[in-house]
Amino acid sequence: MKKITLLTATTLTTIIMGGCAQTAPAPLDAEECATLEKKMMQTDQFIKKVSAMDPAHTDEVMMAIPKTEITTETSKSKMLRDAKRRKARLEQEFNTSGCKKSE
């Protein structure tokens, strides 16, 4: 019961504190939209590759990729979690910035 109350209080506080002061983001230009779309495609490819690989090989993959913007984890489930979060964040930014998907 405490978790529900705390969650409710946190949600209400977030709505009250942040909801009223939010402004629409400035629309992005074509180059910025293309960059954002490229990042979404790279994240999709990363998700497909990690999903298809054996969990025992994720350490090797992360050692081969010294730095990635998607995740720093070596566990397959955590890598996928981070990638899906990034994908959702990028899609939200893409949709709210007035960008249109290229054909």
Q: Is residue 19 part of a domain?
A: no
Tally of domains in the chain: 1
Report pLDDT for 75.
86
Residue 25 CB neighbour total at 10 angstroms: 10
Q: Own/partner pairs for 62-66, CB < 8 Å, 24+ apart? A: none
pLDDT at residue 13, rounded to an integer: 58
Examine residue 64 and state whether it is found in any structural domain, yes or no.
yes
Residue 69 belongs to a domain: yes
In a domain, 40, yes or no: yes
What are the pLDDT tens digits along the chain (103 aa)?
445 555 555 555 565 555 555 555 566 678 888 899 999 999 999 999 889 988 888 878 777 776 678 888 888 999 999 999 999 999 999 888 888 877 6
Is position 18 within any domain? no
pLDDT computed for residue 5 by the predictor: 58
Is the residue at 9 inside a domain?
no
